[in-house]
Structure 1
């Protein structure tokens, strides 16, 4: 299969739209809640620290983020841990924003980004201490090939953190991959994407040569994250609609569709893998 999404279609929209419903870091993936009173911003920072812990980041590592979004992870890792970070994204509008954020945070010398698809980039082998893929492999048609490239970029003993929403099993994929809600997200929001069962991602990581050292079920955390996003959409509906008539309703519908299946048809998992040899 050669089909790929040029970008998550969301990212072709005005960057300021995302500031209306995401946290101040503009992290567009699951947060991690420790308490009922946690705010979205607190939970997103807790999630980034969780990722750092899973990657065994202690300070000064070289990190590659595949599908870097609005730069929350690359800037955070540079600012909090002094990591030298490279973010990869096919969405041109994100890179200027990330450069500005890095400069504002005083870490412009540690944060670099490249526009393009990871599958087609030439990167140094055995160079990075850590690789992250938060919600990006769904847009890549050959997960084994992608994970082999990620492994090649890692030094021996380096870690990969991969998180993705998944069908809860192969039967759910067969039953729901072509339903109206899935097609709406694929056609109106994301562009091409292939939601897979966890078993396929585990097999792909193993076939790529990784040792899997942790699997975390973050489903409930993503459900709560999206609830917080919906609340922000409702609070900012008038401002969101300045980006396009009916934009708030469309965005709310997308988030409701995403939240409807958790635990029934879909789950959200994080895999931590190690290049052991």
Structure 2
């Protein structure tokens, strides 16, 4: 395995993601505050939740690792005036973000870098906040990731990590080699490892972070994927026109992802402070 293998899913045609995600193309758990929330509303709730966990007041310098289609950096620039840098190894995402930032009038605040976070040359103590929403699962070296995140954060800066995890080390060992897990890892992404929360906490503490909050968002991710599945079904013909059998592969992936919530897998948000 090499880290370079992790971007195959995210280098697909951007139009694929536009068919089943919300209008912001946020590809991670939403936050449903009401039974009647739409996917779009819940994704905005989640972004405001992240802003709250980071303590954003406006104008901060933000780094989003694994920025996807730019939902977070575009939102934080538009709503909070944050100078936002997104990092992703998936080249197609950067052209899309550049276009959207210009359309939204935040091109002066939003920038991106192509590459893997661990390898990029970034100035130390240069960011007020770092976010990783569903991206650390694709990074093999936790110690390097958390160490780099702390190095680029100013003193008192905040790291927010949200990630899907096996619920324990025993579940990780028992289910990591199952056929469904292998399908998601090899056929969809290329590489990924859903570590138990304890491994994320240990790596964060080992890098020198103080843990200030842990939130269980498992039920919210289940509902998010239910909404994605409904969108896949509604757009099945359009998806299959973009790639034969694509709708079926996406449905299979999302059904596997939704099957284990609360039993073998959980989804947590971890907020860490660079206290020193």
Query: Normalising to structure 1: TM-score of the pair?
Result: 0.98
* Alpha carbons 1:133, 1:162 under 8 Å: kept: yes
Corresponding position of 1:105: 104
CA drift at 1:132? 0.2
**Secondary structure of 2:124's aligned partner:** coil
* Alpha carbons 1:5, 1:192 under 8 Å: kept: no
CA drift at 1:7? 3.4
Corresponding position of 2:147: 148
> How far, CA to CA, are the matches of 2:120 and 2:13 in structure 1?
26
> How far, CA to CA, are the matches of 2:4 and 2:185 in structure 1?
10
Corresponding position of 1:211: 210
CA drift at 1:10? 1.6
* Alpha carbons 1:54, 1:272 under 8 Å: kept: yes
CA drift at 1:71? 0.2
Post-superposition CA distance 1:136-158 (Å, at most 9, x none): 11111111111010000000000
**Secondary structure of 1:103's aligned partner:** helix
Corresponding position of 2:243: 244
Corresponding position of 1:170: 169
Post-superposition CA distance 1:154-181 (Å, at most 9, x none): 0000000001000000110110000000
> How far, CA to CA, are the matches of 1:7 and 1:197 in structure 2?
20
Matched pairs, number: 276
Corresponding position of 1:84: 83
Corresponding position of 1:24: 23
Post-superposition CA distance 1:48-94 (Å, at most 9, x none): 00000000001000000000000000000000000000000000000
Corresponding position of 2:157: 158
Report 1:107-146 matches (<5 A): 107-146=106-145
> How far, CA to CA, are the matches of 2:28 and 2:252 in structure 1?
17
* Alpha carbons 2:6, 2:192 under 8 Å: kept: no
> How far, CA to CA, are the matches of 1:166 and 1:209 in structure 2?
22
CA drift at 1:193? 1.1
* Alpha carbons 1:5, 1:139 under 8 Å: kept: no
* Alpha carbons 1:32, 1:47 under 8 Å: kept: yes
- Extract unaligned runs of 5+ from structure 1: none
CA drift at 1:9? 2.1
CA drift at 1:12? 2.0
Corresponding position of 2:194: 195
Post-superposition CA distance 1:175-201 (Å, at most 9, x none): 000000000000111111111000000
CA drift at 1:243? 1.3
CA drift at 1:8? 3.1
Report 1:232-271 matches (<5 A): 232-271=231-270
**Secondary structure of 2:202's aligned partner:** helix
**Secondary structure of 2:3's aligned partner:** coil
Query: Normalising to structure 2: TM-score of the pair?
Result: 0.99
1:72 aligned onto 2:71: yes
**Secondary structure of 1:268's aligned partner:** strand
* Alpha carbons 1:222, 1:268 under 8 Å: kept: yes
Q: CA RMSD in A?
A: 0.8
**Secondary structure of 1:12's aligned partner:** coil
* Alpha carbons 1:9, 1:188 under 8 Å: kept: no
Corresponding position of 1:9: 8
* Alpha carbons 2:53, 2:160 under 8 Å: kept: yes
CA drift at 1:235? 0.4
CA drift at 1:122? 0.6
CA drift at 1:6? 3.5
